[in-house]
């Protein structure tokens, strides 16, 4: 029979801690009780799952179950420093989850596990961190993934800007799927799943530096189910990528350079909201370079284009999908835009930073 004192000690050890402070302080990163209370109260309580609950320094994953779902792992990592933390259509937490899921998804992988590491500035309100963690878990549950391990660091006031998040993700690529920017051939068709530039415009307006009022919201959303829909009807899709920083223009330039083909776009086919165009005209920006957080670019062979387009339109994340251009043999490595006036111009890689801290 166990000593009652020992039983009481075990109960206390197993009890999750509770944050009593209203703001982050340096003790929350010290490795002691304050840090354990923060992790228990904010992260473990929200992200709770059998793998995370072990509270080891790493997540231990079942290899045979992974191998049953495919023959390759997809592994990615990304960091999020968006300003402001909360914006129309999302926040930094949702952005971190969906952005990492999408980086896995465009390889054809099924996203399964994520990590969450945070850098907290001294003085950050605990309520803000709690809201972000809750939104991360909501986004993860909606996407069917688990946050299984992470890390917390606290820096002095002024050494960071409120909250930075790093996430890594693991997914499994099904056997036979080979999506790569090197696969594109002349004649292939370029398709996007909807309106471009909404995220960049929403963040810009949310910063409150401009006297503009619009109903533009970020397109932050997970895309793995849309990718699954595409692969069901076209398992040999050539290339796929989510158009985040640098926007559509950057993705297409990367495609053109990797496959040594040209890409010709039709300006009239580009799905850009009038409000986004208006913001860009006022500020002298090009919507082709605006960031997106729920848009992917997929390239398929011409014979499959109509089938893929119909499948995408049947999915909520692709109901506004459209064909915007095609690959050409010459000039290789160049993206061209046929304007509404019938002329052509080169759409080059972004030079400099159009909008900093966009994701």
Q: Which pair of structure tokens corresponds to residue 246?
A: 């640098």
Q: Place 351 in a pLDDT band, splitting at 50, 70 and 90.
A: confident
For 220-242, write each residue's pLDDT tens digit: 999 999 999 999 999 999 999 99
**pLDDT at residue 170 tops 70:** yes
In this model, does residue 280 exceed pLDDT 60?
Answer: yes
Ranges in the chain annotated CATH 3.90.650.10: 189-346
Q: How far apart are the C-alpha atoms of 216 and 88, rounded to whole Å? A: 7
- What is the enclosing helix (H) or strand (E) of 163? strand 163-173
Q: What is the C-alpha to C-alpha distance for residues 125 and 20, in angstroms, rounded to an integer?
A: 12
pTM of the model: 0.94
Does the structure show a pLDDT above 90 at 248? yes
List, in sequence order, the alpha helices (H) in the chain.
4-14, 33-38, 45-47, 63-67, 92-105, 126-143, 198-206, 224-233, 247-259, 274-283, 305-313
Q: What is the pLDDT of residues 80-128, one digit of tens each?
A: 999 999 999 999 999 999 999 999 999 999 999 999 999 999 999 999 9
Q: Check if the beta carbon of residue 78 is closer than 8 Å to that of residue 100.
A: yes
Report how far residue 81's alpha carbon sits from residue 164's, in angstroms, rounded to the nearest whole number.
Answer: 5
* Ranges of CATH 3.30.1330.10 domains, the chain: 4-173
Looking at residue 2, its pLDDT comes to 60
Residue 355 banded pLDDT, cuts 50, 70, 90: confident
The two three-digit tokens of residue 206, written as one number: 């949310």
Report the C-alpha gap between 285 and 21 in whole angstroms: 43
pLDDT of residue 12: 47
According to CATH, the superfamily of the domain at 189-346 is PurM-like C-terminal domain (3.90.650.10)
Q: What is the mean pLDDT of the chain?
A: 94
Distance of alpha carbon 63 from alpha carbon 9, whole angstroms: 36
What is the predicted pLDDT for the residue at 231?
98
Task: Say whether domain 4-173 belongs to CATH 3.30.1330.10.
Answer: yes
pLDDT band for position 3 (cuts 50, 70, 90) = low
Assign 1 a pLDDT band (cuts: 50, 70, 90).
low
pLDDT at residue 353, rounded to an integer: 72
Q: According to the model, what pLDDT value does residue 296 have?
A: 98
Q: How many beta carbons lie within 10 A of that of residue 61, not counting itself?
A: 14
Residue 291: its pLDDT value, please? 96
pLDDT at residue 357 greater than cutoff 60: yes
């Amino acid at each position: 029979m166990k000593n009652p004192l020992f039983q009481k000690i075990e109960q206390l050890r197993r009890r999750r801690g509770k944050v009593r402070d209203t703001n982050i302080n340096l003790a929350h990163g010290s490795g002691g009780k304050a840090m354990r209370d923060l992790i228990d109260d904010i992260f473990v309580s929200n992200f709770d799952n059998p793998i995370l609950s072990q509270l080891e320094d790493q997540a231990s994953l079942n290899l045979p179950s992974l191998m049953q779902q495919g023959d390759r792992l997809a592994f990615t990592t990304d960091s999020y420093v968006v300003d402001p933390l909360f914006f129309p259509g999302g926040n930094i937490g949702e952005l971190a989850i969906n952005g990492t899921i999408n980086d896995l998804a465009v390889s054809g992988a099924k996203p399964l596990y994520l990590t969450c590491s945070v850098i907290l500035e001294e003085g950050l309100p605990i309520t803000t961190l709690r809201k972000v963690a809750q939104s991360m878990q909501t986004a993860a549950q909606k996407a069917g993934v688990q946050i299984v391990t992470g890390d917390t660091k606290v820096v002095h006031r002024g050494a960071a800007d409120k909250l930075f998040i790093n996430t890594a993700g693991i997914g499994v690529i099904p056997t036979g799927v080979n999506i790569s920017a090197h696969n594109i051939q002349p004649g292939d068709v370029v398709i996007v799943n909807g309106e471009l530039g909404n995220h960049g415009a929403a963040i810009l307006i949310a910063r409150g530096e401009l006297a503009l009022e619009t109903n533009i919201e970020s397109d932050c959303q997970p895309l793995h189910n849309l990718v699954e829909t595409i692969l069901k009807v076209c398992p040999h899709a050539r290339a796929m990528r989510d158009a985040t920083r640098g926007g559509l223009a950057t993705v297409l330039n990367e495609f053109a350079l990797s496959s040594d083909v040209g890409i010709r776009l039709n300006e009239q086919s580009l799905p850009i909201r009038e409000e986004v165009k208006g913001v860009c005209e006022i500020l002298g920006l090009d919507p082709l370079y605006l960031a997106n957080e729920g848009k992917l670019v997929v390239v398929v062979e011409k014979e499959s284009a109509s089938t893929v387009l119909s499948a995408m339109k049947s999915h909520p994340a692709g109901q506004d999908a459209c064909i915007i251009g095609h690959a050409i043999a010459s000039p290789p490595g160049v993206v061209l835009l046929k304007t509404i006036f019938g002329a052509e111009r080169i759409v080059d890689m972004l030079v400099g930073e159009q909008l900093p801290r966009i994701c």
